[in-house]
Structure 1
Amino acid sequence: MPPPAARLFADPEFPACVSSLLGRGNTPLSPLCDRITWLRPQEICPSPRLFPADGRDALGKQGILGDCWFICACSVLHTSPLLLHQVFPADQSTWEDEGYTGCFTCRFWRFGRWVEVTIDDRLPCLGHKLCFSHCQDQEAFWLPLLEKAYAKLHGCYEALWAGQVVDALVDLTGGLVERWSFESAEESFREEILSKMLDLKKRCAMSCSVLHSREGSGDLGQFHAFTITDIQHGITKNGETLLLFCVHNPWGRNCWEGSWRKSGDKWALMDQTESSRFLSQMRDGEFWVEKEEFFQEFNEVTLSFPVINKDEIESIWTGSPLSHTKQIYGTWVKGQNAGGSRNNTSFPDNPKFWLRVREQSEVYVTLLQKPRVGMGASDKMHSGRKLQCELSNNMVPIAVGLHIWKVEKRRFNLQKTVLAPPVAGTSSHSYDRQLHLRCQLSPGYYLLIPSTFLRDTEGDFLFRVLSSGPITLSELPSNQPVRRASEDVIPGIWETLELKGEWKKNNSAGGSRNFSSYHLNPAITFCVPPNSRMVKVTLRQHSQENQCHAIGFHVYLAPADGSFCPFSQEPCSSCIPHSHSLEVSKASELAPGQYIVVPSTYLPDQECKFSIFISTKTERKPIKSEETLGHILKEVSVISLMK
């Protein structure tokens, strides 16, 4: 016997009340909240269970919440037991167990890592029935529980009112997702996509969406997502081959008025055995659509990549496992590195990354922007925990893009590189939460630059690379001065040279100019090129923060005859007094020519390794580019109010 309801877990962070239903309160959900009650599954039906006996009965039905996009994405869990157990961990106690506690845990992939969300099993109901998502088998509760965990992750149920199937698929798989638009698509492209869908129909989640309803298309709705549950070839009486798509509507009821509807006249083209084979497979809400009708009625298809092992993804294009993954977090900061698109001369200021490809590889470079809370979105407090409604109308997306250049070596001219055509790049800056570029890359080094469309647009992002071969990913150090809004910003580019050295006792640790051994310090030569406007020298010691030496440096003009003696000339720039800091720097205006920088510790014979960064600023040539801005994404949310 399960314990009485009074002793079951009640989640204080996501309580059974209006605050867990509503965020802004600007959707059709608001007027219904007073009628919603919260019931546990054993109060809704006599024999609740997590999953139905027949997997086909796990198909989701949408209630009064406009989250068809999430319900369609959940079909990915039908295709992979590995994913199902990743998202919905096995061995959780259920209603039949003696130790049942009324508590469930789900996992979602959020911004580079899997996060756990724990909930109780109290579910929103109207008239003693679930009012949000439910399964075809209404005694199976895995979907409404997963929906509740997803709502808690976003702060409230209302945050799920509208969204993108592709975003939910990323959250449920941690993998790659592609979306293909059929609007204005060439016939060859459609055929290529069809071939790919046929190959992967048993291994991938596939969804289709209506973004522009066509007159006479029946009750498909606008901005609505559907699940593609099967694709099959059929044979007519005349021996003609047809391609039919089985499409499931999350409303869970018939809505298709096309010629292949359940009572449509096209079934007469097949003999009775063939037509019965198709019709007998249909569940509530499913309908068959012939190939030409499919392209006519639906505007786009979304398809997830197969997950073959934990966090290992398979390419849908080559079948190769993308077993090598690297990721780095980054930020665009106004006045520092938010350089905007290639339409701006400040484009090279954007964050820059090195990708090293060690062998010929299929590579996917992904850019995932962190959801931002929009104006007026509520930051809700549940028992001291801050929750944010990040998706749907609470999310303010930014238009982002990504470009890749191949370079011969790590010491390269940044200005010349970004002026050249990239080996790969986004055709326009888009509002996608995650975008990726697919490349076949030869061994070598590649420069990766993510950007926002507008300059000085701030945001956080995750840079992720998946490859069939070994790779390394690192960020280029940025040593450019912080520009203040009040400063006169001179268009230009900072080129940084990094050199490493070491102070050794009785060898190269000469101390400051107060000591006669000063001349033993390393002397590093650098060049200020023509048209430079500014030079910044940064000295960084490789020590623990609590074991820093006092460090500083002097910059000298290099003698024409090459006979450098630091005691015989005065420095033209200095970073003194010596400071007990991990890093010290000095920016100066220096005329073009050859210079020598001498880094030193204050006292002689203090040993340490160090790096010197020489950043020179030169006037920048404009980049010949006309970057375009993609359209604002159209979220799907169509609802069907329960009667």
Structure 2
Amino acid sequence: MPPPDGCQHNPNEDDVNSPTSPLNFLDQNYQELHQNCLTENTLYNDELFPPDNSSIGLFDDEPVVDMSQVVWKRPSELVSDPNLIVDGVSRFDYAQGSVLGNCWFLASIGALTFEKDIMKQVMPAEQSFTKDYAGIFHFRFWRFGKWIDVVIDDQLPTIDDELLFVCSKTSNEFWPALLEKAYAKVCGSYADLNAGFISEALMDFTGGTHMYYQLNTAPADLWKIMECAFTSKTLIGCGSNTATTPEENEILCGIVALHAYTVTGVFEVTSDENTVNLVRLLNPWGEEEWRGDWSDGSPLWDTVCEEVRKICHEVLNNGEFWMSMEDFTTIFESIDICCSCPDFLDGSSECHWTSIRHFGRWNAGSTAGGDIIETETFWTNPQFRVTIDELNEECASGQRPENTLVSLMQNHEKKNRNSQTNLDIGFYVFEVSIDMRSQSGRFSSEFFIESEPVAQTDGLVWLREVMKFFRLEPGEYLIVPCTENPGETASFVLSIFSKNETHFELIQETSE
């Protein structure tokens, strides 16, 4: 099992904070604001995310409701006995609102409910509508390499006393709506939550490792990886394939095309003496389920023993269902696994991964050299020198060959999430031969013209974050993050996770 606080972090100049000591988002200090409200006997009113249409934001398409009818109300104005949590948190507590297309965020919440430690990290304890209530709450997210503490008031947008966005199935439970509001504040507005990738929120909840697999090229032991993940502190989500024709919709058989789902479990069953690997999924809509093999109404459940049926089989229209791993990898496009650390992959309590993080920038005219095909300028990109030590005996006997995970994230600086323009980004890893290890300064263009990468991202893509999981033998390497075109200015966060002892430095000087 991984250590409680995730990967062991190698400290450096970029080691800025942790979930227990987050930065105050917009310089709002929850403790001070809360105490002021108690002293003055007032309810908190957040002037930086006010209860008006500016916080709802502008939708690309016309919303299905008249925004002039929106009234912001506190939970105590909607029900007589509001609670933050009723009978614990559950993936079945909430349903997606009809106005906002943020299934990617709500599917992430579904995963979050399984990991109580991560939930407490995101939603700090000792908040309620009774003891020391002052209309103020706070949540914690990991954004672009830094943990932040986000303060909100509890005024929520409603129409006819119904919540406009996410709503709880228990009328007096409000943690889903308040969590969504806090994340909307971080992203700029509710409208800025419209459309996205589930990996974004999963990473913002965990602040750790992101593993991404395209299911049509996934490793043969992916189900085993998922099984190991569920024994650790992981959040898992996935996205379904597209469907452009009626025939493709028939293949989906109840699965919504281009939709985010939560992976809520894996289970191995014996069906007519055959072993079947099953995956359990949750549609954040709380309805619309798979209708194929191993669905709620499938006769295949009659082929397993009664004990397994009692554990797994429920005929409920709650958006959750089982399907075989074969169907899963056919109908779904990708899977995202996010956790504090990839230790779970090794199956050894003695082998702990370490992490290093650097905040960098591509600057036009100096350190924005473009992709590797730009032979005259590629070398000017930031270069990171990495030394990989020999593995200890426990780690060397791990179950998987990969020992390094590199993540490159665009560090956006604009207030509104949907106003950000992602560049096409990626990175390359080069081995430094023994005869070149004495060289100081940045490696020249000749080095990159003559050298082949030993690892690289699968092309350059416009996602917020790209990652690659691979093996590096002990030795020295260069990691070069880049954008597609020379001269593109942007900030980035480069993270390296390794189960080897790793030494890492940014090369400052140039050799040309």
Which region of structure 1 is more displaced relative to structure 2, 337-346 or 158-167? 337-346
Query: 1:343 aligns to what?
Result: 373
- 1:484 is matched with none
Give the Cα–Cα distance (whole angstroms) in 2 for the partners of residues 470 and 58 of structure 1.
42
Matching residue within 158, 161, 167 for 1:128: 161
1:49 aligns with 2:77: no
Tell me the alpha carbon deviations over residues 421-453 of structure 1, each in whole angstroms, 9 at most, x when there is no partner. 122222311222222333444444322211111
Do the aligned partners of residues 323 and 95 (structure 1) sit closer, same or farther apart at CA in structure 2, a change above 3 Å counting? same
Match of 2:416 among 389, 397, 400: 389
For 2:190 and 2:301, locate their aligned partners in 1 and report how far apart those are by CA, in whole Å: 42
Change (3 A) 1:66 1:414: same
Alignment of 1:143 with 2:169, yes or no, is: no
1:314 aligns with 2:342: yes
Q: Superposed, which structure 2 residues align to 1:404-419 within 5 Å?
A: 404-407=429-432, 408=434, 409-411=437-439, 414-418=444-448, 419=450
Q: Specify the SS of the correspondent of 1:292.
A: helix
Shift of 1:140: 2.6
Structure 2 counterpart of 1:234, one-letter code: V
Amino acid corresponding to residue 233 of structure 1 in structure 2: E
1:278 corresponds to which residue? 312
Task: Compare 400-409 and 9-18 and name the one that shifted more.
Answer: 400-409
Contact 2:278 2:325 in 1 (8 A): yes
User: Which amino acid is the alignment partner of residue 456 of structure 1?
Assistant: G
Select between 203-212 and 159-168 the one with higher mean Cα deviation.
Answer: 203-212
Q: Cα gap change, 1:285/1:45 in structure 2, threshold over 3 Å: closer, same or farther?
A: farther
Out of 259, 275, 279, which is 1:245 matched to?
279
Aligned-partner residue type, residue 85 of structure 1: K
When residues 206 and 281 of structure 1 are mapped into structure 2, their CA distance, relative to the original with a 3 A threshold, is farther
Aligned to 1:110: 143
Match of 1:12 among 41, 47, 62: 47
Separation of aligned partners in 2, 1:29 and 1:71: 19
> For residues 474-501 of structure 1, what are the alpha-carbon distances to aligned partners after superposition, in whole Å with 9 as ceiling and x for unaligned?
221245xxxxxxxxxxxxxxx2xxxxxx
Higher Rg of the two aligned structures: 1
**Structure 1 residue 190, shift from structure 2 partner:** 5.1
The corresponding residue for 1:468 is 499
Check 1:256–1:326 CA distance in 2 against 1; reply closer, same or farther (3 A cut).
closer
Q: CA deviation at 1:314?
A: 3.2
- Whichever residue aligns with residue 201 of structure 1, its letter is F
Instruction: State how far apart, in whole Å, the 2-side matches of 1:242 and 1:21 are.
Output: 46
C-alpha separation between the residues in 2 aligned to 1:211 and 1:84? 29
Distance 1:436 1:148 in 2: 29
Q: Deviations over 1:484-521 (max 9, x none)?
A: xxxxxxxxxxx2xxxxxxxxxxxxxxxxxxxxxxxxxx
- Is the helix fraction higher in 1 or 2? 2
Code of the aligned partner of 2:416: C
Does the C-alpha gap of structure 1 residues 57 and 343 become closer, same or farther in structure 2, counting only changes over 3 Å? closer
Sequence identity, in percent?
27
3-state DSSP class of the match of 1:29?
coil
Do 1:58 and 1:137's aligned partners in 2 also have CA atoms closer than 8 Å?
A: no
Q: Given that residues 91 and 110 in structure 2 are in contact (C-alpha distance below 8 angstroms), is that contact kept between their aligned partners in structure 1? A: no
Correspondence for 1:198 among 192, 215, 227: 227
> Equivalent residue of 1:196, what SS?
helix
User: What residue number does 1:515 align with?
Assistant: none
Q: Closer, same or farther in 2 for the Cα pair 1:263/1:424, shift >3 Å?
A: closer
Provide the TM-score with structure 2 as the length reference. Answer: 0.80
Match of 1:429 in 2: 460
**Residues 444/296 of structure 1: CA separation in 2 closer, same or farther (3 Å cut):** closer
Alignment map for 1:219-618 (pairs within 5 Å): 219-236=254-271, 238-270=272-304, 274-280=308-314, 284-305=318-339, 307=340, 313-319=341-347, 323-345=353-375, 346-360=377-391, 362-371=403-412, 388-391=415-418, 394-407=419-432, 408=434, 409-411=437-439, 414-418=444-448, 419-478=450-509, 495=511, 617=512
**Secondary structure in 2 aligned to 1:435?**
strand
Against the structure 1 CA distance between its residues 300 and 442, is the aligned structure 2 distance closer, same or farther, given a 3 Å change threshold? closer
Q: 1:175 aligns with which of 204, 208, 215?
A: 208
**Cα pair distance change 1:138/1:292, threshold 3 Å:** farther
Distance in 2 of aligned mates of 1:370 and 1:139 = 38
Q: CA deviation at 1:219?
A: 4.2
Match of 2:108 in 1: 73
8 Å CA contact 2:406, 2:468 repeated in 1: yes
Deviation at 1:178, TM superposition (A): 1.6
Q: Is the 8 A contact 2:386 2:502 kept in 1?
A: yes
Q: CA deviation at 1:319?
A: 4.6
Q: Deviations over 1:3-45 (max 9, x none)?
A: 9xx931111111111110014x323437442233222222333
When residues 280 and 107 of structure 1 are mapped into structure 2, their CA distance, relative to the original with a 3 A threshold, is same
- Partners of 1:264 and 1:285 lie apart in 2 by 15
Question: What is the identity, as a one-letter code, of the residue corresponding to 2:467?
Answer: H
- Measured in 2, the distance between the counterparts of 1:167 and 1:363 equals 21
| SS of 1:258 mapped into structure 2 | coil
2:425 and 2:508 mapped to 1: Cα distance? 22
Q: Could you tell me how far apart the structure 2 residues matched to 1:273 and 1:349 are?
A: 62
Alignment of 1:91 onto 2:126: yes
Cα distance between partner residues in 2 of 1:111 and 1:21: 23
Deviation at 1:465? 2.1
Shift of 1:397: 1.0
After the TM superposition, which of the residue ranges 405-414 and 219-228 deviates more from structure 2? Answer: 405-414
Aligned 8 A contact 1:230 1:245 in 2: yes
Shift of 1:144: 1.4
Structure 1 position 277, deviation (Å) = 4.1
**Alignment RMSD:** 2.8
CA spacing shift, 1:275–1:207, aligned 2, 3 Å: same
Q: How many residues align?
A: 449
**How far 1:252 sits from its partner (Å)?**
0.8
Amino acid at match of 1:327: R
Residue pair 2:296, 2:315 contacting (<8 A) in 1 also: no
Q: Is the Cα–Cα contact under 8 Å of residues 372 and 397 in structure 1 kept in the other structure?
A: no
Check whether the contact 2:101–2:195 (CA below 8 A) recurs between aligned residues.
yes
* Alpha carbons 1:29, 1:158 under 8 Å: kept: no
> C-alpha separation between the residues in 2 aligned to 1:76 and 1:55?
11
Cα separation, 2, equivalents of 1:202 and 1:366? 23
Local SS of the residue matching 2:220? helix
Give deviations 1:577-619, integer Å, cap 9, x for gaps: xxxxxxxxxxxxxxxxxxxxxxxxxxxxxxxxxxxxxxxx4xx
Shift of 1:241: 3.1
Contact 1:57 / 1:136 at 8 angstroms: preserved in 2?
no
**SS where residue 315 of structure 1 aligns?**
helix
Aligned to 1:210: 240
Measured against aligned partners, the alpha-carbon deviations of 1:395-424 in whole angstroms (never above 9, x if no partner) come to 311111111223231416634431211222
User: Which secondary structure state, in structure 2, belongs to the residue aligned with residue 147 of structure 1?
Assistant: helix
Q: How far 1:370 moved relative to its partner?
A: 1.5
**Aligned-residue offset at 1:196:** 1.0
**AA paired with 1:365?**
V
Change (3 A) 1:100 1:283: farther
* Structure-2 separation of matches of 1:437 and 1:264: 38
CA displacement, residues 330-361 of structure 1 (integer Å, 9 cap, x when unaligned): 21122222111111121111111222334438
Distance in 2, matches of 1:372 and 1:182, equals: 32
